């Protein structure tokens, strides 16, 4: 209670200080700005969004503090009340995300992926709305974008254009249309308010991070501001508009939620180039998968930085298990394909789609009609929304691959060595392994074939939340040390884990074996590219043979494990 009162008093002081300093700064900046109207919008948005954020955070904190006060820890009554508070606060957080819009929607989408860290009430609330019920721009606003970008209205460009969007996301919405040549296309239109809110969000995050560090010196995330500034030149915006990268470090009811930073590219031409580069990487570096991974074809003559016209693809959403089954595809095969595709991108291409949540991936039968041995249709993965990619330099990519190889094979020494190479240090390598796998250290180094599998029961979930809460300061320090690109890899892992868990109704040894194989292949290929003699090349070749034997042994163990479960069930 004393802590709550202290935070409340600190919040009041912050508010008064922010108001007095902010007014003077705003007047001066607006007067000297190249674009006074836009700058005025920014200075109007920043205080409003800051007040919303502060009030929501304070309300959530007070609700937990007072609702659980006096209830015995671990009692049935406390657990019942806690679930009720979770539900109320999840709704409050959802409302905040929708009211602020933009990258706050990304926050909600990320929380929806954290089912093993975040209380179920938050996951269910965000998952039900954030992936497919984002704010929508009016048709008049869409026409404004078209007039500004192409000089004509949609109905003057397309043979048909549906004014009602098929879907709306945090940055843009998608409309179905038909070109003058009769091609059915999907047209992605950027929300008109995005640049203003992005700048406001940047300013709000910068203020909050710096202020929290002054009040609580151990809470030092000022490096995030530097990382944001480094990303600013990539944005195509007016001089007074700053590009935004979101950092959310969410703590609710005694658990650490998630830290993630994401660079949201507002130039759709960059997104289009990313999609083409992604497919080219598969054709060049992973030809065995090139037919199985696809991105919609871009209509460059009908695309600009704020409009993106693409091939329309009719397919099932990645988590729509029933529709996938109706298409004659096994969800298990889809999970394997997703794991293979992203493992290849991460460990071999070094060019990674970093926003693979459920709304950004579709599935359809492989167009050539190929079927599996048992007659099921083979899946093709359709990747959407290529705005957020990250490149891994060679040392980081290989060290990260070597780390995942060690995790899959429960090699404690290699886990330590490669975690240290990525910045975790001698003191936090075990914690880093736990964050990557969502498993405690004793399970990470367990030699059992299924040592990384999360069973998905309440016991597993409670254990993970307990560890997250217990190691709050250490996790903060670890996230400060890790390379920025690895922070995005953590967020990507969360998204992929949520998708595969939905497809398989839990995690799977098989997906970990796929990760182990591809990460190991990447390490061996890197060694081969740097071999200095025939003898060293022969040694690396033998290492590859040993790897195949180990993987085969783990596969045998997996089959035996599945057979045993079948007999016992």
Q: What is the pLDDT of residues 193-236, one digit of tens each?
A: 665 556 566 666 666 667 656 665 655 556 555 544 444 334 43
Q: How confident is the model at residue 55 (pLDDT cuts 50, 70, 90)?
A: confident
Query: The tokens 């591809």 sit on which residue?
Result: 518
Nearest to 389 by CA among 347, 422, 346: 346
Q: How many helices (H) and strands (E) does the chain have?
A: 21, 13
Query: Token pair for residue 507?
Result: 């995690």
Statement: residue 242 has pLDDT above 50: no
Statement: residue 372 has pLDDT above 50: yes
Highest mean pLDDT among 29-43, 489-503, 549-563: 489-503
Query: Token pair for residue 154?
Result: 């949609």
Statement: residue 249 has pLDDT above 50: no
Q: What is the mean pLDDT of residues 351-357?
A: 91
Percentage, residues of the chain above pLDDT 90: 37
Residue 414 neighbours by CB under 8 Å, 6+ apart = 402, 403, 405, 406
| Cβ proximity of 347 and 404 under 8 Å | yes
Statement: residue 308 has pLDDT above 80: yes
Q: Which H helix or E strand runs over 382? A: strand 379-383
Strand partners of residue 168:
173
What are 215-218's contacts with CB under 8 Å, separation 24+? 215/10, 215/14, 218/473, 218/476
Strand partners of residue 294:
382
Q: Give the chain's length.
A: 569
Active site residue 355: yes
Least confident of 146-150, 158-162, 280-284, 491-495: 491-495
Q: Break the chain down into helix, strand, coil percent, rounded to 5.
A: 60, 10, 25
Q: What is the pLDDT of residue 1?
A: 46
Q: What is the pLDDT of residue 24?
A: 52
Q: What is the pLDDT of residue 254?
A: 25
Instruction: Please tell me the distance from the alpha carbon of residue 96 to that of residue 101, in angstroms, as a whole number.
Output: 8
Nearest to 405 by CA among 517, 563, 241, 246: 517
| Cβ proximity of 102 and 135 under 8 Å | no
Instruction: Please tell me the distance from the alpha carbon of residue 64 to that of residue 82, in angstroms, as a whole number.
Output: 8
| pLDDT digit string, tens, across residues 56-102 | 877 887 888 889 888 888 788 988 998 899 899 889 988 888 887 76
Percentage, residues of the chain above pLDDT 70: 71
| Cβ proximity of 271 and 265 under 8 Å | yes
Nearest to 307 by CA among 163, 187, 140: 187
Strand partners of residue 178:
160, 184
Q: What is the pLDDT of residue 175?
A: 96
Q: Report the DSSP pairing between strands 293-294 and 379-383.
A: parallel
| Cβ proximity of 388 and 264 under 8 Å | yes
| Cβ proximity of 187 and 307 under 8 Å | yes
Q: What is the pLDDT of residue 215?
A: 60
Least confident of 63-67, 141-145, 215-219, 470-474: 215-219
For Cα atoms 458, 462, 468, give the angle at the middle one, nearest 5 degrees: 150
Q: How confident is the model at residue 105 (pLDDT cuts 50, 70, 90)?
A: confident
Statement: residue 12 has pLDDT above 90: no
Q: How confident is the model at residue 131 (pLDDT cuts 50, 70, 90)?
A: low
Mean pLDDT in the chain?
A: 78
Least confident of 26-30, 80-84, 379-383: 26-30
Nearest to 255 by CA among 457, 89, 453: 89
pLDDT: which is higher, 130 or 123: 123
| Cβ proximity of 194 and 208 under 8 Å | no
pTM: 0.75
Instruction: Please tell me the distance from the alpha carbon of residue 512 to that of residue 409, in angstroms, as a whole number.
Output: 10
Q: How confident is the model at residue 459 (pLDDT cuts 50, 70, 90)?
A: low
Statement: residue 314 has pLDDT above 80: yes
Show the DSSP H helices in 33-119 as ranges: 36-67, 76-100, 103-111
Neighbour count for residue 99 (Cβ, 10 Å):
13
Q: What is the pLDDT of residue 16?
A: 47
Statement: residue 463 has pLDDT above 70: no
Q: How confident is the model at residue 528 (pLDDT cuts 50, 70, 90)?
A: confident
Highest mean pLDDT among 208-217, 281-290, 362-371: 281-290
Q: How confident is the model at residue 253 (pLDDT cuts 50, 70, 90)?
A: very low
Instruction: Please tell me the distance from the alpha carbon of residue 506 to that of residue 142, in angstroms, as a whole number.
Output: 41
pLDDT: which is higher, 384 or 169: 384
Query: The tokens 């009040």 sit on which residue?
Result: 215
Strand partners of residue 177:
161, 185
Instruction: Please tell me the distance from the alpha carbon of residue 74 to that of residue 76, in angstroms, as a whole number.
Output: 7
Given 201, 267, 355, 450, the catalytic residue: 355
Provide the 8-state DSSP code for 239.
Answer: T
Q: How confident is the model at residue 114 (pLDDT cuts 50, 70, 90)?
A: low
Instruction: Please tell me the distance from the alpha carbon of residue 196 to that of residue 45, in angstroms, as a whole number.
Output: 8
Instruction: Please tell me the distance from the alpha carbon of residue 424 to that of residue 433, in angstroms, as a whole number.
Output: 10
Highest mean pLDDT among 36-50, 94-108, 180-194, 410-424: 410-424
Q: What is the pLDDT of residue 191?
A: 85
């Amino acid at each position: 209670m004393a802590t709550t009162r202290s935070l409340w008093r600190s919040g009041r002081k912050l508010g008064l200080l922010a108001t007095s300093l902010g007014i003077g700064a705003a007047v001066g900046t607006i007067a000297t700005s190249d674009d006074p109207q836009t700058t005025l919008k920014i200075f109007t948005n920043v205080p409003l969004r800051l007040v919303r954020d502060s009030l929501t955070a304070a309300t959530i904190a007070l609700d937990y503090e007072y609702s659980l006060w006096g209830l015995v820890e671990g009692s049935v009554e406390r657990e019942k009340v806690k679930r009720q508070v979770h539900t109320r606060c999840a709704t409050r957080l959802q409302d905040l995300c929708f009211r602020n819009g933009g990258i706050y929607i990304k926050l909600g989408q990320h929380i929806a992926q954290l089912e093993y860290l975040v209380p179920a009430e938050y996951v269910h609330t965000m998952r039900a709305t954030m992936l497919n019920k984002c704010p929508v721009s009016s048709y008049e606003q869409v026409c404004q974008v078209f007039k500004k970008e192409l000089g004509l209205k949609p109905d003057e460009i397309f043979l048909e254009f549906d004014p009602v969007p098929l879907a709306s996301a945090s940055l843009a919405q998608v409309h179905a249309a038909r070109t003058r040549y009769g091609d059915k296309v999907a047209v992605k239109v950027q929300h008109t308010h995005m640049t203003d809110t992005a700048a406001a969000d940047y300013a709000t995050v910068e203020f909050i991070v710096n202020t929290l560090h002054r009040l609580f010196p151990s809470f030092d995330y000022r490096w995030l501001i530097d990382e944001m500034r480094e990303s600013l030149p990539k944005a195509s915006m007016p001089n007074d508009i700053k590009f935004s990268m979101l950092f959310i470090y969410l703590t609710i009811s005694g658990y650490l939620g998630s830290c993630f930073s994401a660079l949201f590219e507002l130039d759709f031409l960059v997104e289009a180039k990313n999609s083409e580069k992604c497919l080219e990487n598969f054709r060049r570096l992973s030809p065995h998968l090139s037919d199985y991974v696809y991105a919609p074809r871009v209509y460059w003559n009908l695309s600009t930085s704020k409009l993106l016209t693409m091939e329309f693809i009719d397919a099932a959403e990645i988590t729509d298990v029933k529709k996938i089954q109706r298409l004659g595809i096994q969800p298990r095969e889809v999970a394997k394909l997703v794991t293979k595709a992203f493992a290849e991108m991460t460990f071999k291409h070094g060019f990674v789609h970093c926003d693979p949540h459920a709304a950004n991936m579709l599935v359809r039968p492989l167009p050539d009609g190929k079927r599996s041995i048992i007659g099921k249709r083979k899946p093709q993965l359709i990747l959407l929304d290529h705005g957020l990619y990250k490149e891994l330099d060679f040392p980081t990519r290989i060290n990260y691959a070597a780390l995942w190889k060690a995790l899959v094979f429960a090699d404690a020494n290699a886990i330590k060595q490669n975690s240290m190479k990525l910045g975790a240090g001698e003191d936090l390598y075990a914690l880093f392994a736990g964050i990557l796998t969502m498993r405690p250290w004793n399970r990470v180094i367990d030699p059992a074939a299924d040592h990384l599998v999360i069973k998905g029961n309440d016991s597993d979930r409670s254990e993970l939340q307990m560890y997250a809460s217990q190691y709050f300061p250490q996790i903060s320090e670890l996230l400060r040390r890790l390379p920025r690109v690895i922070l995005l890899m953590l967020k990507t892992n969360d998204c992929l884990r949520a998708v595969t868990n939905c497809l398989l109704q839990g995690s799977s040894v098989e997906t970990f074996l796929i990760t182990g194989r591809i990460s190991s292949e990447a390490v061996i290929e890197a060694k081969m590219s740097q071999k200095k003699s025939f003898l060293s090349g022969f040694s690396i070749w033998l290492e590859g043979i040993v790897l195949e034997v180990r993987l085969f042994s783990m596969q045998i163990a997996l089959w035996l494990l599945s057979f045993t479960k079948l007999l016992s069930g």
